[in-house]
Structure formats: structure tokens, C-alpha cells
A and B are shown apart, each in its own frame.
Chain A
Amino acid sequence: MEQPTTPPSVVYEHAHHIDAHEELGWWRKYVFSTDHKVIGIQYAITGLLFLLFGFGLMMLMRWQLAYPGKPIPLIGPWLGQSRAPMGIMLPEFYNQLGAMHGTIMVFLGVVPLAVGGFGNFVMPLQIGAPDMAFPKINMMSYWVYYIGGVIMLASFFPTTGAAQSGWTSYTPLSVITATSGQTFWLVGMIFLITSSLLGSINFITTIVQLRAKGLSYMRLPFFVWAQFVTSFLLLLAFPPLEAAGILQLMDKVAGTSFFLPSGLVISGKPLAVAGQGNPLLWQHLFWFLAHPEVYVLILPAMGIVSEIIANNTRKPLWGYKALVYSVVFLGFMSFIVWAHHMFMTGMGTTMSAFFQTTTMIISIPSVVILTALLLSLWGASIRFTTPMLFALAFLPMFGIGGLTGLPLGLAPSDIHLHDTYYVIGHFHYVVAPGTIFALFAGIYHWFPKATGRKMNELLGKLHFWGSLVCINLVFMPMFIQGLAGMNRRMYDGGAQYAHNQGVLHWNVVQGYAAWGLGLFQIFFIINFFMSLKWGKAVDKNPWEATTLEWLAPSPPGHGNFLTEPIVYRAPYEYSVPGAAKDFSPQFEPEKA
């Protein structure tokens, strides 16, 4: 590949002085910081809080699904007349919860945590950079995200409530529903997208420009590759949704009709707009973003899992090159499968054949990645640490989620499954026990680097086993319900329909499982805060890992490394025959 390059020595000349001299004020150090590690932690904490909030919304919904029309205990009375009179949830409020759960989990929870948090904190360390290429833009992207989040949250306060047309915001419904929630949603989305764009420019530039000496592309940790591809997805797929958001905002506030066809009759009255718009255009622009977006949710997770598997199997990843090529191919293909979400919109033969084929093709690199990770376990010496447990669970869970994508990707079987709980089950298996587990794994794995302390193993294992059981009890029954034909986004859980009667009782089971899942998160929260103070103090490299971030002090200071990092080998050189230790870090020179 290309020749190793020398970063200018200025960086390290004064490394020691700088900390002593430039004592930044509290605000500059923790709030308006330009340090990628602080920004990463800000992203991660904000993301976690949003995940918790999104989960809270979901627990309300699961109550309503389990016991339709019964007053919500404890919280019910606090929700207010416009949402839940006498504690009984209104259908409009259920729809708000659904739309906001989806939006918050995807755009305010997982992406900020996986990309903004882990990407920001870990990636520059792993490539041996002193910081991101554009630290000020990095700070800006966090604050733009923050504003977007505040706008989204604020949308709950007006009595007409938050957006209620699903996270997909299909037109014309989203436009003609005469409440302010959707306007908040659109403005919020524009901020969130802008933030992601700023972030992705920064990531790509950093990876291309700031790799340490000797760190060629084929020596990059897989996590960095995953972030690299993810950034391209963000960079090129988000702008169309930004455009679409602007157009829908025009429809909402300026009375245009980009997405409204002529001749609409709303509650018996003709709608007074110019018309001639196209409702399907929104769906195309939305899914043009949102399909790549789902890979934005999964690729960083795959990256995290690969790091942890390599570390805890004590051997190199199997088929590193195949992994890299697959992830690049996956990223590329994800731009041409979007209309598999739209088979039921009246698609003819050519288009459906095209999108079914691309959808089947895109499943192949996922199979390759999963297979490579599975085969990596062969011949290993597996340490069952908490991060490893989460990472291992990721494999079959993602497997279930991915495999159930196949019948959805074939248009005829999608006729029966589209918009049922089968779809909900499919993607939750990839994003919840998939991505969320990978994120937990990452937190347990990199917590020592960020804080200098380890998290508690016992609490971690309780958290793991409890979550694993509960989360499967929430999502596994969804396949049964979906196959029976139960539709998603049903305020009463589909209680009116004859075909659902045999599967309604699962709603109660899922309810308990969801609250149980909530309880087990308490172990995590306790562990998180306790370990900050009382966790076992650790040195630079507690996991005996090989990648560059473990060369920096824990926690790393401003500028990250004390000496210039130089890379001598591939990322996962564990158990090298003849070596003294079972790990040979990238940063250690060959000893003669």
C-alpha cells in the first residue's frame, strides 16, 4: 500500500508543557470542549439518556398494548388531559409515542452513541491521531445535535403534542395532520442531519489524513473501517432527507404541495392547496436515506463486536480482508435497495425484480461478515468477560434479525408480512439485541480507557443475562404475531381483529418482558455510576489488547499520546507463534 508518513513533530515536542500551561476553564474543558474525547463522552451520555427516554416511551406503549384502555399505573395521572385523560392513553398519544420512540432511538440514541460517542472517542485513538481533523467543527456538530434533540423533546409540550405520523412521516398524513408536532420534528431533523454531515466530514478527513506513521489502510482496526464506511453513508445519504425535510416543511408552513396530489378531501372538505404533488416522492427520498441509515446503525456495532471478539479470543480475526471488502460493498449496495420498503406502493415487475435482487445481494456481505466473526472463534481461547458476552450475543441476535429480513426482501412473501409485527421483530432483533448489545459491549470494553476504571463484572453479568432473556421475550413473540397477521402501529394492539385473537395474549408477556428489561437496566446504571468512583483502577492496557488506543494513558490527556505512536504490524496480532506474550500490540517494535 502507500508509504508510511511522518506527522510533523510539532505535535509531540511540547506534549508535556501544554497540559501544564493551557489550563482551560471549566466551561472550555467540559462543555464547549474541542477535545474529541470530551465530545465523544458528551455524545455518549446524551445518547444514553435519549435511549433511556425512548425506552421509557416504549414501556408506556407496551402497557397500552398489554392492557388496552386501562389507566396507566403511576405515570398515567401525570400525563395530562390531552394525552391520557384519567390515565387512559389516547390514540393520538399512542401514535406520538410510536413516532417519537422510533425517531429518538434511531437519530438521537443509537447514531449519536455509536458514531458520535464511540466514533469520536475511539477512532482517533485507534489511528494514533492527536484529535479530530477539525476540532471546532466537531464541537459544533455536538451542539447542533443537542439543539436538534431539544427541539424534538420540546415538541411534546404543546398540548397538540409531538409528531404522530410514525418515524417515517409519510405524506400526506404528516402534512395534513394539523398539529405543530410535525413541524418541530422536521426542524429537529434538519438540525440532526446537519450535525451528522459535519461529523461525517470530520471522520473521513481524520481517517484519511491523520493515521499514524505505519498505519496503512489494511492495518486499520476493523472498527475504523466500519466508521469510515458509515461516514460515507451519512455524508451522501443524509442530504436527500434534508432536502425532503425542507420540502415537507414548505408544505407544512408555506402552503406548498410538493407531496400533496390534487383533489384531496379531508373530513369531507376539499383541501385548498395547489395540488399536483406526489406523495410517493417523500417515501423515495425518505428511504433513500433510511435504508443506508439502518446500516449506519449496524456497521459501528459490527466494528465494536469485531474489536472485542479479537481481544477476547486472543487470536486474529478470521478473514480480515474479507471483512473489509464486505463492509465496503455493504455500504455501496445500501444505496440501491431502498424501495424494498415500498413493495406495496404499486410497484411493477421491473422495479420489484430490481429491488428484490439488490436486497438479496446485500444480504451476502452480511453473511460473510457474520461467518468471518463466527469462524474467528475457532481455535480461540475465549475469555467470557462482560463485554465479550454482549459481543457474542450479538452474533445470533443479529443472525435472527438478518435472516428474518430475507422473507421481507422477497416481495410476494412481504405481501403478508409488510407492516406487521414481523417487520418490527426483524428490525428490533438487529437494532436492540443487535446494535444495543454491541453498544453495551463497547461501553464495558472502553470504559477503562475513558475513566481509568473497570466496570463491575458481577453487575455486568447480571445485566447481560437478564437483558438477554427479557429482550428475547419481547421480540421473539413478534414473529408469531406478525405471521398471524397482526399489524404494527395499532393503538389497541389489534384487539378488534379476528385473526389476532390467537396471539393477543403475547402482548401481556411482552409487556412484562419489557418492564423486566427495564429493571435489568438498573444494574447497568448502578454499575456505570458506581464504577466511575469505585471501579477497579487500571493501567493503560487492562485487556491486553493490541490496538493503538491502549498505548495512550487511561484516561488519555489532551493530545492523547505521550510519544508519537508508530505502527509496526496488523491490528490483531494475538498469540503470534514464538512471541513472549499472547498479544503483540501494533505499537510495539519488533524486538531483536
Chain B
Amino acid sequence: MNIPYTVEERPDSGLANGKLGIWLFLASEVMLFGALFSTYIILRTGATEWPHGELSVPLGALNTVLLISSSVTMVMAWAMLKLHNWGRHRLYLLATFALAGIFLVNKYFEYSDHLARGEGPSHSTFLAIYFTLTGLHGLHIVGGMVVMAYLLGPGAKLWKQNPDQFTNRIEYTGLYWHFVDLVWIFLFPVLYLL
């Protein structure tokens, strides 16, 4: 049995199911991170002092650059499918995956640096927030990488059978990925700079 509008768009809404689904998911993510940002504001305004310069700005900025670049490569990976350029698509998707990987390696260095100094999440309110927010964001990165790995590996077969559906999947993955990038765009100034 087939579910209608998995690939093609429903005329009255102009959407395929997945498109609406992924946006609804992102809406819930907005509320998830919203609650965490809200927590940040409340603890920050209630705090008697707030540490500065605890985090390495160059590393954070580097990670920002990595994620922004990965967003570009992600959207290119989708555009290449639209242009039926399979080879380029693979290249861009792989690049996105690699950039995400480097981001995580960077994060690993930052984390282990703190932990080595005995500054775990329980050390201060700032570090508690830092670890929780970036940890959750990191999990989102990992999730995105899992999906990309699937689309690079076994999931790629779909291109042969149903190129439109595969293109949609890449688009939805992209939407998610840009959202993860977007969250980081806020996390970076909030945690590293302010």
C-alpha cells in the first residue's frame, strides 16, 4: 500500500508529507532550545558573577566557520541532485559529513581540556549551562551525521529507484542540518563571547 503525497505535492497545501513533517519537527526543536535559552537568561540574570574568557574564542569561531561551511555544502549537495549531478552531490554530502566530524573533534578537545582541569558541569552554573547546551547540540550533530552516513551508504540506492524521493530526503536532511547550524549561530556568541 502506498501513502499518498510521499513524493509529489498535495495540490491544496503545496507540500509533500515529509516537508511538513520536518518543519513540524523543527518547530518542536525551537521550543526545546527555547526552554534552554530561557534557562540561560534566567540563571545569567540571577547570577552574582559570570565568568568571562573561560572558553577559547578561536576554537569556537573555527567551529562556527565549520558549521556555516557545512551548511553551504549541504545546500549544494541538494542543488546538485536537482541538476542530476550525482558525482558532485556525493562530493558535497561527503564534505558536509567531514566538516561535521571536524566540528566534533574540536568539541572533543574543548571538553577534554575542561575536564582535565577538573572543570566539569558541576563546577559552576556557567559550565553547567555550557556542557548541557553544547552537549545537546553535539548530540544533534551526531544525529545529523548518522542520517548523512545512511544517505551516503545504504540509503543512496534510492536514487536509482526514485530520484525525486531521494532528493526530498536530502532536502529534509538539509533543513535539519541548517537548523543545527542556526542553533550554533546563537550558541557561539551566547556562550563564548558574552
Contacts and interface: CB of A to CB of B under 8 A. Distances in A.
Interface of A: 2-3, 5-8, 10-11, 15, 18, 129-135, 137, 197, 200-202, 204-205, 208-210, 235-240, 242-244, 246-247, 250, 254-258, 273-278, 281, 285, 288, 558-559
Contacts of B21: 133-134, 137, 201-202, 205
Contacts of A200: 24, 28
A243 B133 CA distance: 10
Nearest to B10: A209
Contacts of B163: none
Interface stretch (B36-44, B64-72, B142-150): B36-44
A172 B9 CA distance: 50
A130 B3 contact: yes
Interface string B20-64: 110011011101111110110011001110000000000000000
Nearest to A11: B2
Nearest to A235: B28
Nearest to B124: A274
A263 to B, nearest CB: 12
B1 interface: yes
A242 B32 contact: yes
Given A2-B12, A10-B2, A235-B28, A277 B125 contact: yes
Given A2-B12, A204-B20, A257-B128, 5 more contacts: A131-B3, A133-B5, A133-B21, A200-B28, A239-B28
Contacts of B10: 5, 209
B46 A246 contact: no
Interface in B92-144: 120-125, 128, 131-132, 136
Contacts of B42: 278, 281
A202 B29 CA distance: 15
B132 A276 contact: no
Contact of B32 (A2, A135, A243, A288): A243
Q: Is the interface of A mostly helix, strand, loop or mixed?
A: helix
B36 A209 contact: no
Contacts of B35: 239-240, 242-244, 285, 288
B17 interface: yes
12 contacts: A5-B10, A6-B11, A131-B1, A208-B20, A209-B13, A210-B5, A210-B17, A235-B27, A240-B38, A247-B36, A256-B131, A274-B124
- Please list the 5 inter-chain residue pairs (A to B) with the smallest Cβ-Cβ separation, ordered nearest first: A255-B122, A243-B35, A256-B128, A240-B35, A239-B32
Contacts of A243: 32-33, 35-36, 39
Nearest to A135: B3
A434 B5 CA distance: 38
B4 interface: yes
B91 interface: no
B24 A11 contact: no
Given A134-B21, A255-B120, A210 B27 contact: no
A331 B124 CA distance: 39
A243 B137 CA distance: 12
B4 A8 contact: yes
Nearest to B13: A208
B15 interface: yes
B124 A8 contact: no
A209 B15 contact: yes
Contacts of B46: 276, 278
B122 A274 contact: yes
Contact of B121 (A8, A238, A255): A255
Contacts of B11: 3, 5-6
Nearest to A130: B1
Given A255-B122, A278-B43, A18 B1 contact: yes
Contacts of A137: 21
Contacts of A242: 32, 35
A262 to B, nearest CB: 9
A209 B27 contact: no
A236 B27 contact: yes
Nearest to B36: A243
A215 to B, nearest CB: 11
Nearest to A237: B31
Given A276-B46, A276-B125, A130 B24 contact: no
Nearest to A206: B17
B3 A258 contact: no
B8 A239 contact: no
A241 to B, nearest CB: 8
Nearest to A558: B1
A218 to B, nearest CB: 14
B135 to A, nearest CB: 9
Given A3-B11, A130-B1, A201-B25, A256 B132 contact: yes
A347 to B, nearest CB: 16
A121 B13 CA distance: 24
Nearest to A243: B35
Contact of A254 (B27, B120, B125): B120
A18 B1 CA distance: 7
Contact of A201 (B28, B31, B48, B128): B28
B28 A210 contact: no
Contact of B2 (A8, A208, A239, A288): A8
B28 A197 contact: yes
A318 to B, nearest CB: 29
B28 A559 contact: no
A236 B13 contact: no
Contact of B17 (A18, A133, A239, A288): A133
A552 to B, nearest CB: 14
Contacts of B5: 7-8, 133, 209-210
Nearest to B123: A274
Contacts of A132: 3
B58 to A, nearest CB: 27
A243 B123 CA distance: 21
Contacts of A10: 2
Contacts of B24: 200-201, 204-205, 235
B28 A274 contact: no
B24 to A, nearest CB: 5
A559 B132 CA distance: 44
Contacts of B27: 235-236
Nearest to A194: B28
A316 to B, nearest CB: 25
Nearest to A204: B24
Contacts of A6: 11
Contacts of B28: 197, 200-201, 235-236, 238-239
Contacts of B17: 133-134, 205, 209-210
A50 to B, nearest CB: 24
Contacts of A208: 13, 15, 20
A135 B128 CA distance: 38
A255 B122 CA distance: 5
Given A250-B132, A276-B46, A278-B43, A240 B32 contact: yes
B1 A11 contact: yes
